[in-house]
Amino acid sequence: MRKFTFLSLMMVLAVVCIFACTPSTSSSTDARENKSTKQSKEPVTRALAAAYSPFFSFGVAVNRNHVTQEDNPGANIVQQHFSVLTAENDMKWESIQPSEKRFTFKGSDALVSFAEKYDKELIGHVFVWHQQTPDWVFEDEEGNFVSREVLLQRMRDHIFTLAGRYENAIKGWDVVNEALNEDGSLRKSKWQQIIGDDFIEKAFEYAAEAAPNAALYYNDYNLFKAEKMDGAIALAKRLKAKGIRIDGIGIQAHYSNEPPLEELEQSIQKVINAGFKIMITELDLTVLKFPDEDKVGADITLDFAFQEEYDPYKNGISEASHQKLATAYIDLFRLFLKYHEHIDRVTLWGVSDKDTWRNYWPMKGRTDYPLLFDRKHQAKDFVDDLIALAESANKIN
């Protein structure tokens, strides 16, 4: 635990900075007391979600194995540490309506029951996306693109069926996912090509009608980039100007253990100034090198051929890399706390390093360490620091 002395000191200083107030003697003492609790090597018994509840909700993406309890230790972590769940894959179009009008709710129903049983909130992910959406959606029987009218009808039916089934269960929906290019312009997806630029407006209109009680979000990756965030804000403002409801912008946050802190902070400030809520929707921090720096982001179609040199921690992560990860998580949560009045939720994209998508994306067969719980479902040592960070912030607040 000695290795965390510096980190913990930074943490205490950070908490003081978060609220830009002169620290009272008692708050410094409180932070030290938290530290000494940690040094007594007690296991993590306090929950992340409980510690952060004064600031924002703390969520996680779950997969089928958590919901069926096949991954029992993983399910236990979900129950203990997280208050709001997103389906990692089970509410995507290909899972819900794999062929026309054949709806398959097995996975999503099971998730909804799991959430009810353990008293968790649910986020719906996702209505309209160009990925994990079957070809039939865009095609007629001959394989040609359908008309704008047909595609709008299919979009509407899908949104109404899915939102309707879970009307009382879902707190917020990712309505449109990843509609922007890196420069903030509209991606030429099949949605855009067939319907036109207003496919986003239509999706939000249908969602507002079908899910009147749920919050509605636009969600994307690389929104720390100024140009891309400008595009997202322009999009949200366009909707608002037309009287179409949009409640917030979801920042995916698939980063590395060197996250873009300053750029992210500037992006967060822009969303706040524009008057929208922020959700951190898919946080994970790879410790592995991205095979092509120009493609950093979350394009799920990337599939680089396996190369040993990109998989250096097969038998365990290096101490230096782990320390970087710890610092990165602390720094990010310090930032989220600073803007907590505008951030509704922070969701981790996965429970443990055992089942993270980062092991198979953007290169299959690697051993990554991007989450808060390790392959044996143990909380990483800095989870205590994250909890102490929130508890100290709460005392100062």
Point out the residues that are catalytic: 282
| Residues 78 and 62: beta-carbon distance below 8 Å | yes
Residue 88 or 391: the one with the smaller Cβ distance to ligand XIL is: 88
CB of 180 to ligand XIL, least distance (A): 13
| Residues 282 and 340: beta-carbon distance below 8 Å | no
How many Å apart are CA 138 and CA 148, to the nearest integer?
Answer: 10
Residue 50 or 300: the one with the smaller Cβ distance to ligand XIL is: 300
| Assigned token pair, 183 | 């420069």
CB of 134 to ligand XIL, least distance (A): 14
CB of 351 to ligand XIL, least distance (A): 12
Residue 346 or 388: the one with the smaller Cβ distance to ligand XIL is: 346
Nearest partner of 283 among 325, 249, 254, judged by Cα:
254
Q: Which residue, judged by CB position, is nearest to ligand XIL in the bound state?
A: 357
Residue 58 or 361: the one with the smaller Cβ distance to ligand XIL is: 361
CB of 320 to ligand XIL, least distance (A): 27
Which residues have C-beta within 8 Å of that of residue 234, sequence separation ≥ 6?
Answer: 184
How many Å apart are CA 237 and CA 257, to the nearest integer?
Answer: 32
CB of 69 to ligand XIL, least distance (A): 19
| Residues 370 and 317: beta-carbon distance below 8 Å | no
How many Å apart are CA 27 and CA 15, to the nearest integer?
Answer: 10
CB of 91 to ligand XIL, least distance (A): 10
Question: Cα dihedral angle (167, 172, 173, 176), rounded to 10 degrees?
Answer: 150
Which residues make up the interface to ligand XIL (CB under 6 A)?
88-89, 177, 252, 282, 298, 300, 357
CB environment 52-82: b (16+ within 10 A), e (fewer):
beebbbbbbbbbbebbeeebebbbebbebbb
Residue 4 or 357: the one with the smaller Cβ distance to ligand XIL is: 357
In this structure, what DSSP letter does residue 99 have?
Answer: B
- Phi, psi (rounded to 5 degrees) for 284: -155, 150
Residue 89 or 321: the one with the smaller Cβ distance to ligand XIL is: 89
Nearest partner of 56 among 24, 83, 87, judged by Cα:
83
CB of 88 to ligand XIL, least distance (A): 5
Which residues are bridge partners to 363 per DSSP? 304
* DSSP-assigned states of every residue in 218-271: EEES-TTSHHHHHHHHHHHHHHHHTT----EEEE--EEESS--HHHHHHHHHHH
Residue 174 or 391: the one with the smaller Cβ distance to ligand XIL is: 174
CB of 250 to ligand XIL, least distance (A): 9
CB environment 270-302: b (16+ within 10 A), e (fewer):
bbeebebbbbbbbbbbbbbebbeeeebbbeeee
| Assigned token pair, 313 | 């921690």
- Phi, psi (rounded to 5 degrees) for 82: -125, 145
Residue 88 or 205: the one with the smaller Cβ distance to ligand XIL is: 88
